[in-house]
Amino acid sequence: MIGLSAAALAACSSTRTPVVQEPMIDPYYQRMYGEVIGEPHRVAAMDLRRVDPKWWRQEVPYSTTERAGTLVVDTPQRFLYLVLEGGRALRYGIGVGKDESLVFRGTASIGRKAEWPRWTPTKSMIAREPERYGPYAGGMAGGEINPLGPRALYLYKNGNDTLFRIHGTTEPYTIGTSVSSGCIRLMNQDIIDLYARVPVGAKVVVINSPMVASISPAALAPAATF
């Protein structure tokens, strides 16, 4: 090493900062999950670098005996499907209840819909976590900090409110995990999209057991989107 020139020594000792390539996100999805304009409260754009693409809204093959227009909520797989014609479905990533015993299962219907809904924790939620939910026992008006987000679909069974909701979220980066108090959460852009597609009275099937999850393997692969 003694005979090496200064230039050679400099070349040996120099270090280069590696260039980190930012993931390229299709502009289509950037628009899909961009800031929503025209709402009474802000709906911020999603940073899709923080969300696995499998949770992004997309049309997929889906084999089911349910009629088009039915919602199938597959809690084990963390997906909600809006059944379409021709063996297809529109698939949304969801967040689910952190305790399986809190999650509704079976068949219900959309009893009502609400934009920027008021949120009131249930008595059982307050009993489980009084410090967290007690202050909101009287309810919270719709807005940016409301846990239901910009839209909510209310599930009814035999004419009665099940207290189970499909709604938006103030924690959009938890989609794909088990963190909610029992209801189903979607990214805010997704619940706005779903809300516009689903009428009151639509059938909802909630699967809450891996043994009965009837998903076509092809449904887990990305396909055409809209």
The mean per-residue pLDDT over the stretch 23-28 comes to 88
Which of 57, 91, 167, 185 is labelled catalytic? 167
Tokens 């059982």 — which residue? 124
41 has catalytic annotation: no
Structure tokens that stand for 133 in this block: 């939910």
Per-position DSSP letters for 4-24, written without gaps between them = --HHHHHHHH---PPPPPPPP
The mean per-residue pLDDT over the stretch 8-22 comes to 53
- Separation between Cα atoms, residue 222 and residue 50, nearest integer Å: 18
pLDDT at position 21, please? 61
Domains of the chain listed by start with CATH number: 27-210 (2.40.440.10)
Q: Are 39 and 178 in contact (CB under 8 A)?
A: no
122-160 pLDDT per residue, tens: 888 889 889 988 888 999 999 999 999 999 999 999 999
12 has catalytic annotation: no
Which of 43, 71, 108, 183 is labelled catalytic? 183
pLDDT at position 180, please? 66
Q: What confidence category does residue 112 fall into, taking pLDDT thresholds of 50, 70 and 90?
A: very high
Task: Tell me the whole-structure pTM to 2 decimals.
Answer: 0.81
- Separation between Cα atoms, residue 118 and residue 54, nearest integer Å: 30
